A and B are shown apart, each in its own frame.
Chain A
């Protein structure tokens, strides 16, 4: 089923929407999440949370690129889960408590998300200044978390070229952020 048809299912509030989404993009979303959390169960939960988030947002949202839209949600959830896993080791009951407490905060992620959105805008502007090849390699490495070898195989180029491109792009990003007054 094509993405447009899947989006229509969301708009019709049909539960087939999630089943078709999983069929079309489930594996790629799971792979993306697994690269971030490095845990199969966490990756599965991240993908499930992604479907739930998409179900809540569509409608009124109508994504132009369904996979990119889902992948953004999935990546964000996976990063949040990674933060949670890396937090100070807490006891299970404490975890449960803190989770419950969070429900009392109007939007506990607002500040963090605003910050993330601002960073995202900066990065989008920076990526637009790059040549296409550099942009694709940078995105595959730092957005999709692909390995150097995977990127080299994907684009039919040597690993050394991928490394060189990434090194140059990182230097450009540092200069760009300094110019924008952001210390890294």
Chain B
């Protein structure tokens, strides 16, 4: 037997071996496979880093803002890293925006007992002080509603019936005022919320 016989004899090896050589690849000898696996692993690490470093804090901030309407008093999750300063600033602006319906902490408020409605607002007497000592209880005031006055229901939600006019006569309300004219005893309010009388609080 010579080399030519061997080469010809190869034609008679079993078909399964012929098929294997045509259809299969070495189990562990593929350098290309390892190279692509390494590249894929690096990409996964990059994506994970981006997610934890940037996307996740933004997501938490968004969730914090969205949940604020439902629970104003709940603390808003703040990011611990990333571009948090800028986002925190945006959050603070959002928290103090009148459009969002949040209380304006820098604006003083007072509790009034409404006597009767007028064209521009109503007359009332001071029934209690919330966060200001400008008035004494029992002081009579003329209340003028600002054009963009916000009417709130007792639970703090925006009152959708405000556009048709609300009769506060005889009710106890907490108002936030932006102007006070001592001579005419007039205040301009931008927020009105019905509350229970102070004696029962």
Contact = CB atoms under 8 A, between A and B. Distances in A.
Interface of A: 63-65, 67-69, 71-72, 75-76, 79, 83, 115-124, 127, 132-133, 135-136, 139-140, 142-144, 155-157, 182-184
B197 to A, nearest CB: 85
B9 A115 contact: yes
B166 interface: no
Interface residues of B, number: 31
Contacts of A68: 15-16, 18-19, 22
A116 B8 contact: yes
B14 interface: yes
Contacts, number: 114
Which among A64, A136, A142 has the greatest number of chain B C-beta atoms within 10 A? Answer: A136
26 contacts: A65-B15, A65-B16, A68-B16, A72-B15, A76-B8, A79-B7, A79-B11, A118-B9, A119-B6, A119-B10, A119-B12, A120-B9, A123-B12, A123-B13, A135-B17, A136-B20, A139-B21, A140-B21, A142-B7, A142-B10, A143-B21, A156-B29, A156-B30, A156-B33, A184-B1, A184-B3
A183 to B, nearest CB: 7
A119 B9 contact: yes
A99 B37 CA distance: 58
A127 B20 CA distance: 12
A139 B1 CA distance: 20
A183 B1 contact: yes
B29 A127 contact: no
Minimum-distance CB pairs A-B, first 8 = A120-B12, A119-B9, A139-B21, A156-B32, A65-B19, A68-B18, A133-B26, A68-B19
A133 B1 contact: no
Query: Do most interface residues of chain B lie in helix, strand or loop, or is the interface mixed?
Result: helix
B1 to A, nearest CB: 6
A143 B20 CA distance: 12
Given A72-B11, A119-B5, A124-B14, A156 B21 contact: no
A132 B28 CA distance: 10
Contact of B16 (A64, A75, A79, A143): A64
B24 interface: yes
B5 to A, nearest CB: 6
B2 A69 contact: no
Contacts of A121: 12
A64 B18 CA distance: 12
B134 interface: no
B160 interface: no
B20 A139 contact: yes
B6 A184 contact: yes
Contacts of A132: 24, 26-27
